[in-house]
Amino acid sequence: MRVVLLAPRLAPELEGGTELVARAQARELARRGHDVRIVCGSDEPGPPEPERGEVDGVPFARLRPAPDERYDLRLAHPGLTRRVLAEAEGADVAHVHHWATLSSDLVRALSVRMPTAVTLHDHLASCPRFFRAPPRPSIVCPPPGERAPCVACLRPDAPPGTDLEAELDARAEDFAGELAAAALLVAPSRHHAARCAATLGLEPGALRVVPHGLCRPAPPRADAEPWRGERPLRVLHLGNLGDAKGTGDLVAALAGLPAGRVELLLAGRVLDPADEARWRAAAGDLPLQLLGPYADLAGLVGRADLVALPSRLEESYGLVVDEARALGLPAWVSDRGALPERVGEAGRVLPAEDPAAWRAALAEVLADPGRLAPERRAAREAPRTAAEAAAELESSYERLLAENPG
């Protein structure tokens, strides 16, 4: 089967969860014997000729936008769509992982030529800000078709004179057409599937849930001695680092604990370099170590006792939960989005944006280290993997081709 995957970016540009998932699925589908290629966009303008290379043995073409093809409200860039179609020529199936760096008519254009699947990684199809997280608490995201709150949300960032209501109507029409043209709609979690159905006006069950699974190579398991309170508790915070991911909240929570009882390790990319100095100042006497971005998990084995993920975002999945499980560590997560459905007994769910609640929970563990033992035992179960997700997608692609012969 010849499969083309469309991703917003590829490393060494910013690699968030969407990019990591697309890359892992391409790799695993290729391992299953399929002819796979990736077409990705970019945030950096450049010449019309595609940049070609390989990632994990899979060929890719990076399409850099013209100066007038940058991310905007409508996201309609027909020139980029034509370039995508040229790169997708000859494929049997296409899978769109995002529109943000490309164009909002990709699915309609591709579906004329081949069955096209879409994974909704976030809320871009209903929200120009991606996450339905207004910048001001006074704004509440509306149901489908209501525009006034969206106009108020976007007005501070819109060019003067923009008819936001008309632009939002046209944008909604574009994305409704995209979803209607898709032969398969995928969401990574039950929570995100239900949220997308509600915000986009889709029928319940319109999205197939295919959890991403562990997208990085699984590290060797280390049978380290469980933490019994004889040394500081080492807390690991993974993934892209920023206040939206709860990094500042976690620093505030741990900084209020007794001196010498806890250490904080931050592994990942700091999204705003100015944040590091602010976190260090807020940490005070709390030992805070930044480990930098990580390409695999092997270097994190045995470094921590607990993973903390206090995200403020409406997370659609949470790849770091799988990474915590791969490390054999409990994951404490916020009560936002899909994170609570993913933890089970191998962790805890605590309120987002509430450092005091996290501090109190950690203080309980410091007072009684045995409280962590059941979570640690549950975390020994191996996580789902991207290979399992690829097998499910392969079956879906085969079904699409059977339903659309020729």
Write down the domain spans for the chain. 2-213+386-403, 233-378
pTM for the model: 0.93
Topology of the domain comprising 233-378: Rossmann fold (3.40.50)
Instruction: Give, rounded to a whole angstrom, the gap between the first and last alpha carbons of the chain.
Output: 13
Q: Are 19 and 38 in contact (CB under 8 A)?
A: no
Model pLDDT, residue 222? 67
Q: Do domains 2-213+386-403 and 233-378 have the same CATH topology?
A: yes
DSSP 299: G
CATH superfamily name and code, 2-213+386-403: Glycogen Phosphorylase B; (3.40.50.2000)
**CA dihedral sign of residues 72, 77, 81, 83:** negative
Long-range contacts of 170-176 (CB under 8 A, 24+ apart): 170/74, 171/73, 171/74, 171/75, 171/104, 171/128, 172/126, 172/144, 172/145, 174/74, 174/75, 174/76, 174/104, 174/105, 175/104, 175/125, 175/126, 175/200, 176/200
Across the strands, what pairs with 186? 119, 208
Q: How many CA atoms lie within 13 A of 41 on its CB side?
A: 28
Asked if 219 and 327 count as a contact pair (C-beta separation under 8 A), the reply is: yes
Predicted confidence pLDDT, tens digits, the chain (406 residues) = 999 999 999 988 878 899 999 999 999 999 999 999 999 999 999 999 999 999 999 999 999 999 999 888 889 999 999 999 999 999 999 999 999 999 999 999 999 999 999 999 999 999 999 989 888 888 999 989 899 999 999 999 898 989 999 999 999 999 999 999 999 999 999 999 999 999 999 998 999 999 999 999 999 876 667 899 999 999 999 999 999 999 999 999 999 999 999 999 999 999 899 999 999 999 999 999 999 999 889 999 999 999 999 999 999 999 999 999 999 999 999 999 999 999 999 999 999 999 999 999 999 999 999 999 999 999 999 999 999 999 999 999 999 999 987 6
C-alpha 274/C-alpha 375 separation (Å) is: 35
**Residue 65 DSSP code:** P
Question: How would DSSP label each residue in 163-224?
Answer: -HHHHHHHHHHHHHHHHHH-SEEEESSHHHHHHHHHHHTPPTT-SEE----B-SPPPPP--P
Q: How far apart are CA 231 and CA 254, in angstroms?
A: 15
